[in-house]
Amino acid sequence: MRTVIGSAALALAFAPALAQQSPYAEYQRMARESAPVELFELAGEEAWKKKQGPKNVSLEQCDLGQGPGVLKGAYASLPRYFKDTDRVMDLETRLLHCMMTLQGRSREEATKRVFGNADNASEMEVLSAYIAGHSHGMPMRPGTSHAKEKAAYQLGQKLFFHRAGSWDFSCASCHGEEDKRIRMSGLPVLYKPQVARPLIATWPAYRVSNSQFKTMQWRMNDCYRQMRMPEPMFGSEAMVSLVHFLTVTAQGEPYRGPAIKR
Amino acid sequence: MRRLLLLPAVVAVAACTTAPSVSEHPKPSPRELEEVTAVLKRDFRARGQATMDRVELDEVQRLCNLHADNPPAELARPIEETQLKAIPFPAGSMMGDWKNGEKIAQSGRGAMWSDKPGVQEGGSCYNCHQISPKETAFGTIGPSLAGYGKTRGNRPEIQRYVYGKIYNSKAYNACSQMPRLGHSKTLNEQQIKDLVALLLDPASPVNQ
């Protein structure tokens, strides 16, 4: 797995220089030619089928909402309410649940390294790549009918606008007004459907700027870091609700990931 | 690049009449605000210098959250006054070293869990403002500060306003999106003086 990802990084070693000359077309070309995302998907398939944990079983029977082991369209239907846990879960939270229940792993062990780095992607990242890939082209349809799904949306929306922390930021401080940027990065107004749709429908994604494959929970984590807040806990209700709010705002958009990003 | 990405989506939305109506900026009730804080207490944890007391709201944050960043003047004014009274203005000149001010303005570090406290603290000023004409990679959340002292001079009252604005932006505009860089203990007195010089010193590139 490490060597597979290593070669992906190598193939893209020239990417940041190109990125500075900007053109989006360059990314598209690179995406086609070096297809690093496929390498993460490949590593993810390996991780999905790997027997591990105290029970020494793979994740292949994990139910992501479409039935045990069904991958097609699973990502595009998340986050959604799961009866067995009586809560709304996004892909990463559900995977963690399967690691704990199917494989018998502890939360501590399974979340020790959810966010990887350029040398070595995490198990969660490659699994996300593999599973999300099975929803390519399918419209994003997160659950919106169950009472807990409605509550998650509402909590996510409140969190989006909630100002707190030592720098008084909310998500809307940086994602609330059109045509604003931080340094040179454009700041998408993520509570507007027309803005959220094309962006949210590309995660998880390979980020050329730091040569890493990243998930939505990582994106939330890193924006809270910039907000000068304490650290959100992986898979917590707050994080799932925020992801749910963003995904419902983007609903209907055909899933175009796992994508390549700036 | 953003434009390019948006184009197909705009078309898609126009063709789709079932898009959910997302209410713009909801106003939480005081009770809902408490519930959100309780969620943050449960679902966040201290890391490095980003300790859990940061999720507690002060009077400024409470006001802005309750009024969707747009409070009535009669509620905002008394809060701006208390914030202003709490600024420890230094005596004498507030003009420090603009060269050091430029470094502080450039640095986007400071107060994050990934930063070591007291090491290379920055003001993130260029993240939000155009300042020196030499820096072209500037953000636009705040207004341009190019030529700031050229048009305003550097009289003591101007120094005092700029010092105060950087120390506590909310003393002048309760729900400003600008962080309170002195009040939050991100920047110290000398660093803020250096930033005042960056904006007001006639020798600073900002005023060339």
Residue that wins the pLDDT comparison between A207 and A130: A130
Residues of A in contact with B36 (CB under 8 A): 155, 158-159, 162
Mutate to test the interface with A, among B27, B140, B180, B183 (most CBs of A within 10 A): B140
**Is residue A34 predicted with pLDDT exceeding 90?**
no
Q: Which residues contact A110 (CB under 8 A, 6 or more apart)?
A: A96, A99, A100
**What pLDDT, on the 0 to 100 scale, is given for residue B9?**
37
How far is the C-alpha of B67 from the C-alpha of B50, rounded, in Å?
26
**What pLDDT, on the 0 to 100 scale, is given for residue B120?**
74
User: How is chain A classified by DSSP, letter by letter?
Assistant: -HHHHHHHHHHTTTHHHHHHT--HHHHHHHHHHH-HHHHHHHHHHHHHH--BTTTTB-STT-B-SSSBT--TTTGGG-SEEETTTTEEE-HHHHHHHHHHHTS---HHHHTTTSS--SSS--HHHHHHHHHHHTTTTSBP----SSHHHHHHHHHHHHHHH--BTTTTB-HHHHHSSTT-EETTEE---TTSHHHHHHHHTT-SEEEGGGTEEE-HHHHHHHHHHHTT--EEPTT-HHHHHHHHHHHHHTTTSBP--SEEE-
**Is residue B8 predicted with pLDDT exceeding 90?**
no
CB contact under 8 A, B137 and A231: no
Q: What's chain A's average pLDDT?
A: 89
CB contact under 8 A, A164 and B12: no
Task: Find the domain containing A94 and state its range.
Answer: 35-261
**What confidence tens digit (pLDDT) does each residue in A100-138 have?**
999 999 999 999 999 999 889 999 999 999 999 999 999
Q: What are phi and psi of B172, to 5 degrees?
A: -115, -20
CB contact under 8 A, B5 and A199: yes
- Catalytic, A223? Answer yes
**Is residue A28 predicted with pLDDT exceeding 70?**
no
Taking the Cβ of residue A222 and every Cβ of chain B, the question of whether any pair is shorter than 8 Å is answered with: no
**What pLDDT, on the 0 to 100 scale, is given for residue B119?**
77
Distances (CA, A) of A241 to A160, A200, B20: 10, 14, 17
**What pLDDT, on the 0 to 100 scale, is given for residue A209?**
84
**Is residue B4 predicted with pLDDT exceeding 70?**
no
For residue A22, being part of any structural domain is answered with no
Q: What percent of chain A has pLDDT over 90?
A: 80
Q: How confident is the model at residue A145 (pLDDT cuts 50, 70, 90)?
A: very high
Q: How confident is the model at residue B11 (pLDDT cuts 50, 70, 90)?
A: very low
Residue that wins the pLDDT comparison between A190 and A22: A190
Lowest average pLDDT, out of A43-57, B70-84, B111-125, goes to B111-125
For residue A17, being part of any structural domain is answered with no
CB contact under 8 A, B4 and A231: no
CATH fit for domain B30-208, picks 3.30.56.10, 3.40.50.720, 3.40.50.150, 1.10.760.10: 1.10.760.10
**What confidence tens digit (pLDDT) does each residue in B16-53 have?**
333 344 457 889 999 999 999 999 999 999 999 999 99
Taking the Cβ of residue A115 and every Cβ of chain B, the question of whether any pair is shorter than 8 Å is answered with: no
**Is residue A32 predicted with pLDDT exceeding 60?**
no
CB contact under 8 A, A197 and B12: yes
| pLDDT mean over B150-162 | 97
For residue A164, being part of any structural domain is answered with yes
Question: How far apart are the CA of B63 and the nearest CA of chain A, in angstroms?
Answer: 10
ipTM over 0.95: no
Q: How confident is the model at residue A35 (pLDDT cuts 50, 70, 90)?
A: low
Question: How far apart are the CA of A51 and the nearest CA of chain B, in angstroms?
Answer: 31
Asked if B75 contacts B63 with a C-beta cutoff of 8 angstroms, the reply is yes
The tokens for A35 are: 């297809």
Q: How confident is the model at residue B12 (pLDDT cuts 50, 70, 90)?
A: very low
Question: Taking CB atoms and an 8 Å cut-off, how many pairs form between chains A and B?
Answer: 173
For residue A15, being part of any structural domain is answered with no
For residue A238, being part of any structural domain is answered with yes
Selected catalytic residue, list A62, A171, A174, A223: A223
Of B37, B42, B141, the CB nearest to A180: B141
Count of domains observed in chain A: 1
**What pLDDT, on the 0 to 100 scale, is given for residue A13?**
35
**What pLDDT, on the 0 to 100 scale, is given for residue B142?**
97
**Is residue A2 predicted with pLDDT exceeding 60?**
no
A179: domain CATH number? 1.10.760.10
**Interfacial A residues in 51-110 facing B (CB < 8 Å):** none
CB contact under 8 A, B25 and A230: no
